[in-house]
Amino acid sequence: MSFPCLRAVAPTPNMTIQDGGRQGWRRFGIPGAGPMDTMSFAIANALVGNRLSEPAIEFAYAGGEWVVEAASCRIAVAGGDFDLRIDDRPARAYRSIVVHRHQHLRLGSAPGRVWGYLAVAGGLDLPLEFGSCCTDARSVIGGQFVRPIAPNDAVPLQRDRASTEPERIANPPTESPGPLRITLGPQEDYFTRQALSAFLSEEFKVTWQQDRVAYRMEGPELTHAKGFNIISESVIPGCIQVPGSGMPIILMRDAGTNGGYPKIGTVITADLGRLAQCRPGSRVRFQAVGVEEAQAIRRQFLARMLLTTEAIAARRPQYQVH
């Protein structure tokens, strides 16, 4: 083997390649894919000095074991305080670190977190498919990685050797514990008045049925007033579909492009990553906001992402902006 790579000696399930996602292909039935937690993904890339949309490895709950097959490379882990060991010695998430050939990385779990990101300086050397190298296992699309990373897979690196430069450190981002903000509709009129009020006032629990396609929630039954079939229409990540069971299903990054259940609302961009990071059993509430407010929150979210990642990249002290 001659190309520099990270070799997955013991991958965990649902470990995939993600970049900024696919755009412009939904009309052909191809979802956008992309990181489940965009903020953490951007921080991982900023820590190693990459463009924010550079491909990185996404993992769920734990990041498995890797062996470095390059002279050296600079890596960083973000998404949570994941238990990182290099040759069995503890290392930290949220800081860049150079690892060398034959070194062994073990990525355990992070308290209360689901999705983590392993980024490599210079990026991954992967072919694009439909403009992106994101693994979309449901659609069987992704260039080299159309399925989750399997044992012994080699993830090719752009660089064979890490540059010499000071390391970067990030403050783990603190997330507001508030309700998940949603915009109502387009089918809020398919639900009874009681269902709408329960949806906006009661707690819902994240269940074990959570993956890159959808999160199934449990809570008060949301009763339909007009049946639970609509003429199928285009959906996006964040859409909250309510099938006949009355239990909401929130669509995530790999959800199919169309859905035939009434949508009571859509989780806004700023809160979708926050929902993604909720473990089963977590309790969430929904709060309705208007489109303009949703867009104001989105601007703040994008500004916070930019400020945070710029400060990391420039090795400046970081402040929490809320």
Partner 1 sequence: MGDDALLVQFDDAIAPQVNALVNALDIALGIADFDGILETVPSFRALLVIYEPEIISYSQLEIRIRTMLSGLGQRVETTNRLWTIPVSYGYPDGADLSEIAEITGLSQSGVVDASLADEYIVYFLGFLPGLPVLGRLPPELQLSRRASPRQGIPPNRLLIGGMQAFITPQTTATGYYILGQTPFRPYDRRANNPFVMRPGDRVRFRAISERELYQLNERPSIDFLTMDG
Question: What is the rounded distance in angstroms from the CA atom of residue 132 to the CA atom of residue 20?
Answer: 8
Shortest distance (Å) from residue 136 CB to partner 1: 9
Size of the site for partner 1 (CB under 8 A): 40
Site string for partner 1, 47-66 (x = CB under 8 A): --------------------
Q: DSSP class of residue 225?
A: S
Nearest CA to 276 out of 8, 14, 12 is that of: 14
Is residue 266 at the binding interface for partner 1, with CB under 8 A as the rule?
yes
Question: What is the rounded distance in angstroms from the CA atom of residue 104 to the CA atom of residue 268?
Answer: 39
Question: Which one among 83, 129, 218, 254 touches partner 1, defined by CB under 8 A?
Answer: 129
Q: Residue 278: left if φ>0, alpha if ψ -120 to 50, beta else—which one?
A: beta
Tokens of 12: 């965990």
Shortest distance (Å) from residue 289 CB to partner 1: 9
Which H or E element spans position 294? helix 291-313
The stretch among 6-14, 103-111, 260-268, 304-312 that binds partner 1 (CB under 8 A) is 260-268
What is the rounded (10 degree) CA torsion for 96, 137, 148, 69?
Answer: -60
Helix segments in 218-281, DSSP class H: 269-276
Question: Which one among 7, 9, 10, 26 touches partner 1, defined by CB under 8 A?
Answer: 26
Shorter beta-carbon distance to partner 1: residue 169 or 236: 236
Shortest distance (Å) from residue 40 CB to partner 1: 20
Q: How many CA atoms lie within 13 A of 116 on its CB side?
A: 27
Question: Which one among 18, 40, 109, 139 touches partner 1, defined by CB under 8 A?
Answer: 139
Is residue 132 at the binding interface for partner 1, with CB under 8 A as the rule?
no
Site string for partner 1, 176-215 (x = CB under 8 A): -------x-xx-----------------------------
Is residue 295 at the binding interface for partner 1, with CB under 8 A as the rule?
yes
Which amino acid is present at 153?
Answer: D
SS3 state of residue 310: helix
Shorter beta-carbon distance to partner 1: residue 144 or 171: 144
Distance between the two ends of the chain, CA-based, in angstroms? 48
Residues forming the site for partner 1 (CB under 8 A): 23-30, 129, 139-141, 183, 185-186, 231-236, 238-239, 256-258, 263, 266-270, 291-292, 294-295, 297-299, 302
